[in-house]
Amino acid sequence: MGRASRDKRDIYYRKAKEEGWRARSAFKLLQIDEEFDIFEGVKRVVDLCAAPGSWSQVLSRKLYLPAKLAPDSKGENLPLIVAIDLQPMAPIEGVIQVQGDITNARTAEVVIRHFDGCKADLVVCDGAPDVTGLHDMDEFVQSQLILAGLTIVTHVLKEGGKFIAKIFRGKDTCLLYCQLKLFFPVVTFAKPKSSRNSSIEAFAVCENYSPPEGFDPKDLHRLLEKVGSPSGVDDTDCCSGWLEGPNKVYIPFLACGDLSGYDSDRSYPLPKVDGGTYQSLDPVQPPIAPPYKRALELKKASSQGVREPENLSLDS
């Protein structure tokens, strides 16, 4: 799909470029905030799986820049934003970047060090694996990322804090909901208007972090296992097969964002600029080290008949 064609078919892709966001995902976080007011009182925040950085941009524009530009600001006690991703990210004002794997325990240690003994008010996680199209597999890998996010939450989030995480809806959604409820009395699954209906993506909005009394983060996995696994239940809706009668779980599911606003599944005509032809804007920030870069280099080298140098080998 060409850029102009995508501009037409994906209104949020076009709007993101017009408003200077690095990715259309920015609108998802903004729409979640419209519904849940997630930035209220937030001074310290962790952005997990942050590249290319549109959520970090939202955090910078909503939290850091207003505090820095406030007339009484002395440039002290500004909001702290720490962003982590496997991929490097171009700089964003007010955002500390950590390149690392959120499933690695050392990453949590690096984040904690940045908070210097203080705790975060908000942790957001828009992590997604490379989607295979096999829903069960994608949902499973996605849930591992959420659990890695929850591990970091148990180390860095203050009591009363919020956790927002991307989920893939599937047969284990109910299990995930029950696991999150162990730590958060209020958990809502939200579908922002900018997230396509055709996508299984939604967001868990978890409020008022309250770990069980005496909870030790070392026990997280044992505790989560206690919730039980619905796998093996021959029912596509795990909740109806797993918990019955008065124990049946109903997951609060909410559409958010201006419901009369742009529909991400619709095409919109391209705007005419003073009678001239429509000019598609360049992406705000091209990826600085995309995973496909080496493959392109290899392809180019082979089309030019260049012998593959040692350091371009895919096996290296």
Distance (Å, whole) CA 46 – CA 51: 13
Which structure tokens are listed for 274?
Answer: 């003073």
Distance (Å, whole) CA 152 – CA 123: 9
Choosing from 17, 28, 162, 166, the catalytic residue is 166
Task: Check the annotation: does 126 bind a ligand.
Answer: yes
Helix 135-156 vs helix 105-115: crossing angle, to nearest 10: 40
**Where on the chain is the footprint of ligand SAM (CB under 6 A)?**
22-23, 25-26, 49-55, 84-87, 101-103, 126-129, 145
How many Cα neighbours within 13 Å face the side chain of 169? 17
Q: Of 163 and 242, which has the nearer Cβ to ligand SAM?
A: 163
Shortest CB 104 distance to ligand SAM, Å = 8
Task: Check the annotation: does 101 bind a ligand.
Answer: yes
Shortest CB 58 distance to ligand SAM, Å = 8
Q: Of 54 and 60, which has the nearer Cβ to ligand SAM?
A: 54
DSSP, res 3: H
Shortest CB 56 distance to ligand SAM, Å = 7
Distance (Å, whole) CA 64 – CA 96: 12
Told to judge if 166 belongs to the known catalytic residues of this protein, a careful annotator would answer yes
Distance (Å, whole) CA 63 – CA 82: 13
User: 87 near 289, Cβ under 8 Å?
Assistant: yes
Q: Of 22 and 61, which has the nearer Cβ to ligand SAM?
A: 22
Tell whether the torsion through CA atoms of 267, 52, 21 and 194 is positive or negative. positive
Residues 6+ apart with CB under 8 A from 282: 17
Task: Check the annotation: does 85 bind a ligand.
Answer: yes
Distance (Å, whole) CA 40 – CA 193: 21
Q: Of 25 and 179, which has the nearer Cβ to ligand SAM?
A: 25
- Residues recognised as catalytic: 166
Residue numbering of the annotated binding site: 53, 55, 85, 101, 126
Residue numbering of the annotated binding site for S-adenosyl-L-methionine: 53, 55, 85, 101, 126
